[in-house]
Amino acid sequence: MSDTLPISHKRKLIIERIAASAKRAGLNNNQVLTAVSKMQPDFKIKEMISAGQKVFGENRVQESQIRWGNTFKYIRKDIELRLIGPLQSNKALDAVKVFDVIETLDRMSLAKALVRAADKHGSLPKILVQVNTGEEKQKSGVSPSHLPLFLSELKKEYNIKPAGLMCIPPLKEAASPHFWLLKKLTEDYGMEATSMGMSNDFEVAIEMGATHVRVGSALFGPRIY
Ligand SMILES: *Cc1c(COP(=O)(O)O)cnc(C)c1O
């Protein structure tokens, strides 16, 4: 998508594409667009907020603390902030303070750190479990075959009942089988939220039943590293 369009226009186009995908698949258009603001300049985020965007995704705790605890503190209470990147256990307390939703719970040791942090902070964010649908060695996430045990242990040990599942399919494979699997697992285990689909494949994700899509570069333009 052209990088010269105003942010508000880009957002409108993405929202229209989400609606069209839902319609094609015969689904209600109630999906949530998470604007992935990682590594984006403040002025673009400001434009996105002005355009009416309320749900943002970040993948680093520290970047989010600075951005949403300082720069955009004035608007923070109106925003839903979602952690979509990997979380180290030693950052659990910071994460619990900054985020409304943590999408990347993927191990029991992190669950333990999160409940301890929640005890200190007073509340636990909404939790999604990251699933490694492609069983990739280098990728985080619970493997689909371990998911039943993981979910029952979470409940038994920490009384955590995740709101849903998220995945990042392997780069070099068609995404749809992974999306199909994640949706099926979400339903099989009685959860609500299925977070899947990024700039290149959010329409497929919507068609496969995503409740949340995470779109960064198609909304903001390329990230600045
Ligand atoms: C960066 C990121 C996105 C957004 O990626 P785009 O391709 O820019 O839309 C979505 N999900 C996760 C987990 C990410 O890290």
- Note the pLDDT of residue 3: 63
* Total domains in the fold of the chain: 1
- Note the pLDDT of residue 37: 98
Distance 157 CA to ligand 1 centre (A): 31
CATH number at residue 134: 3.20.20.10
Residue 114 covered by a domain:
yes
Does residue 95 contact residue 117 with C-beta atoms inside 8 Å? yes
Taking the C-alpha atoms of residue 105 and residue 84, their distance in angstroms, rounded to an integer, is 10
Residue 35 covered by a domain:
yes
Residue 1 covered by a domain:
no
Does residue 150 contact residue 130 with C-beta atoms inside 8 Å? no
Dump pLDDT digits (tens) for 105-144.
999 999 999 999 999 999 999 999 999 999 999 999 999 9
- Ligand 1, atom 7, lies closest to the CA of 199
Among 61, 100, 91, residue whose Cα is nearest residue 193: 100
Residue 73 covered by a domain:
yes
Nearest atom in ligand 1 to the alpha carbon of residue 220 is 8
Cβ-proximal residues to 112 (8 Å cutoff; 6+ apart), any chain: 89, 157, 158
Residue 179 covered by a domain:
yes
Residue stretches of the chain with pLDDT short of 70: 1-3
Dump pLDDT digits (tens) for 49-69.
999 999 999 999 999 999 999
**Ligand 1 lined by 36 (C-beta under 6 Å):** yes
Number of helices (H), then strands (E), in the chain:
9, 8
Q: DSSP assignment of 82-147, as one string?
A: EE-S---GGGHHHHHHH-SEEEEE--HHHHHHHHHHHHHHS---EEEEEB-TT--TTS-SB-GGGH
Residue 2 covered by a domain:
no
pTM: 0.97
Taking the C-alpha atoms of residue 173 and residue 79, their distance in angstroms, rounded to an integer, is 34
Residue 225 covered by a domain:
no
Q: Which domain holds residue 169?
A: 7-217
Residue 223 covered by a domain:
no
Taking the C-alpha atoms of residue 169 and residue 127, their distance in angstroms, rounded to an integer, is 20
